[in-house]
Every structure is written in structure tokens, then in C-alpha cells.
A and B are shown apart, each in its own frame.
Chain A
Amino acid sequence: MPPKQVKGEYIETDTGNKVSRKSNILGSQNIILGGKTIIQADCTIRGDLRRSGAPGQHGNVAIAVGRYCFFARSSVLRPPGKVSRGAFSFYPMKLGDHVFIGEGAVVEAAMVGSFVHIGAGAVIGKFAIIKDCVRIEEGTVVAPNTVIPPFSRVAGRPGVVVEELPETAQDSLELKGIYRMI
């Protein structure tokens, strides 16, 4: 558990998000935070890499984050991009609730479900889809376009499911406790 921070390190928004002043957020107009999300220092979020072309039905959202997420120091969130129909474009990235991203992890997933723990230094490849209640161990490399089923523990390079998690996994992956501590 991270220690209690010095007062003033975080800016608190109306919906209870705590964003470190030392974090590194680009294109904040394209980022949606659901509330009670913590963004620590040196964390990079690339909201400027939005979908090319005219804003669609949901505007130009590049990164949508649910509630009670925690992005540790030096982690990177970046929407995935690919060439489609002859033109390069980035695609929006969606994160559910209670998503923990460890120190120095790099996430380029298309979708991350709720109650997902991504360990420190892990790399989530482009367009990966991670379902609910998943634990990704430290230093795992999840290959691009991988789909990870719910209730699994993933480790290795490339990351594979090494174990199924019990049905009670959701309780241990909840992040309300961390939010209260900071």
C-alpha cells in the first residue's frame, strides 16, 4: 500500500478524482474519468491521440476510465493505433472500474474490464482485450490483439493464463481501500 501523501500533491476534482500535479496528461479534453480515480506522479496519459476525422457520436473521446481506478507512478496509458482502409487512426481505449495499473506499466489495450490488476512493469499490447476480474503479474508482456478471459491470472512473456481465479476474486481486487488512503 502506498504511504499517505504530502498535502497538495494531488488536485481533487468535483467527482473525487485525485490527479497528481506531476502527472503528465496530454489532450485532457479527450479523457473521461468516471470519478474517484487516482493518477500518481509521472503517469503519462495520451488523450491527444484521438481518432482522426470528424467527431463521431460520442465526440472525440480517446480514453474513458471508470470509477476507483489507480494509476501508479510512471505508468503509461495510450490509445492503440493501426492502419485501416489505408489511413492510420487511433482507436478509443476503455477502462472499467477498479482497475489498478502498477508502477511503470504500459497499457495500449482496446478494452480493460472491471476489477483488473496490472502489475508493475507489465506491458499490455495494442488492441488487447482484458475482461473482468483479471490479475496480470509483474513484468508480463501481453501480446497485441490478445483476449484475456475473465477470472484469470496471467504471467510470462508472452502472457498466458496460468491459473483461474476463484469466484471471490472480486473482493481482493477492489480498490476502494486505496482511494481512502490517499
Chain B
Amino acid sequence: MAPKSRLSDHAASRPPCTLSTTILISETAQLTGSHPISIGEHTVLHPRCRLNSTLGPITIGDYCILNERVNIAAPDREGCKIENYVMVEMNAVVEARSVGEGTFIEVGAKLGGKCIVGKNCKFSPLTTVGEEEIVEDDTVIYGYGERRKDMSANKETRKKLVERQIEGLRALIKSDRAKFLT
């Protein structure tokens, strides 16, 4: 008998998924675990982005962008909830309980287990948030862990930019939604 390929093993542990019909999901994205994963409208999952629901359910809102090598894992049974317009850049690790609307998580940032992140936050590259920490709305974490409040009032513009970016990505990334639904 031919050896089992890694791909078929992956298929065996496929979690129950609720995927909106308008999402853009690369065929090399990885959804693993046993708890349900649901993804909202117009969300983009780049190739090799990993969602792991072994410990709890994962809910992702509308108009999110999850880049390659992003790792999203539910911290426990209560799961991980990511609201609308959240942008997660490369190499980021998200194990938060919840991430508020319009938050930007940049390259290599780490959100530790069960932390709660408010709306319109920004985590600049390689910053970390500790376990069970609560980050208020509009917080910017930058440099070596410095924090400040974002006083600018450009939240709506930021949302529009995310929408434009998703439109642009539509022409470039081949979506294979059906692969994750069987």
C-alpha cells in the first residue's frame, strides 16, 4: 500500500467550518483542530495561514486579512473571536480571547493566551502582549513595548483602505473555498 500523504492526514482532522461565500481563501491555508471555525464575509486568508481550533472554536469577522504564516489558535474552550476589519500581518501569533474591530497586528507580533484586545489598536512589528492582559481601545504598542493612545480620527479611512486592499487581492489570490467544506 502506498504511504499516506501528509495531505490526506490533514484532511482527517478537518474541523467543522462555516465559511461565507464571499471569502477569499487560498488552497494552502491550513484549518486544523476539532472545534468549529467560522469566517465572515470578504475575509482573505493568504497561503500558509494557519488556524488551529484544537482547544476551542475560532470566529473571524468580515473584511479581515490574515497574511501568510499567521498562526491563530484558540486559547481554551471559550475560543478566540476576531471582529471585523482586523489585519494580521506575517508571522504574527494570535491566541487572544478577543480582538476588537479595526485592530492592526503587524509582522511577528504576539498576542498571548486569553488576552483581550480593544478596538482600533495597533501592534507594531515584533511587539508582544502578555497572557490574560487587557488592552484598551485605541492603544498603540510600539518599539520595545512602549504604549500610547491613538488620538487620530481616521478610523473610517482605515477601514476603507482595508476594503480596497481586499478588492486588490481578489485578482491575485486563487480562492478554493470548496476544499475546506467537505
Select which of B107, B108, B142, B165 is within 8 A of A83 by beta carbon. Answer: B165
15 example contacts (A-B, Cβ-Cβ < 8 A) are as follows: A24-B48, A44-B68, A48-B172, A49-B172, A52-B171, A78-B68, A81-B165, A81-B168, A83-B161, A88-B165, A90-B172, A106-B107, A106-B108, A157-B125, A157-B143
| A99 contacts the other chain (CB 8 A) | no
Q: Which residues of B contact A158 (CB under 8 A)?
A: 143
How many chain-A residues does the 8 Å CB contact rule pick out? 26
Q: For chains A and B in complex, what number of residue pairs have CB atoms within 8 angstroms?
A: 62
Taking a contact as CB atoms under 8 Å apart, the answer to whether A50 and B48 are in contact is: no
Taking a contact as CB atoms under 8 Å apart, the answer to whether A123 and B164 are in contact is: no
| A141 contacts the other chain (CB 8 A) | yes
| B69 contacts the other chain (CB 8 A) | yes
| B interface with A by C-beta (< 8 Å) | 47-48, 68-69, 90-91, 107-108, 124-126, 142-144, 161, 164-165, 167-169, 171-173
Q: Whole-angstrom distance between the alpha carbons of A46 and B90 in the complex?
A: 12
Contact status of A78 and B168, CB under 8 A, knowing A44-B68, A46-B68, A123-B126: no
Which chain B residue shows the least CB distance to A89? B168
Q: Which residues of B contact A24 (CB under 8 A)?
A: 48
Contact status of A76 and B164, CB under 8 A, knowing A106-B90, A141-B126, A157-B143: no
| A59 contacts the other chain (CB 8 A) | no
Contact status of A157 and B68, CB under 8 A, knowing A24-B48, A26-B47: no
Select which of A50, A76, A88 is within 8 A of B167 by beta carbon. Answer: A88
Q: Which residues of B contact A76 (CB under 8 A)?
A: 68-69, 90-91
Interface string of A18-61 (1 = CB under 8 A from B): 00000010100000000000000000101011101000000000
Taking a contact as CB atoms under 8 Å apart, the answer to whether A123 and B107 are in contact is: yes
Q: Which residues of A contact B172 (CB under 8 A)?
A: 48-50, 52, 90
Q: Which residues of B contact A50 (CB under 8 A)?
A: 172
Q: Whole-angstrom distance between the alpha carbons of A52 and B166 in the complex?
A: 13
Having A86-B164, A90-B168, one finds 15 other A-B pairs with CB under 8 Å, namely A26-B47, A44-B68, A48-B173, A52-B172, A78-B68, A81-B168, A87-B164, A87-B167, A88-B161, A90-B172, A106-B90, A106-B108, A141-B124, A157-B125, A157-B143
A104 to chain B, nearest CB (A): 7
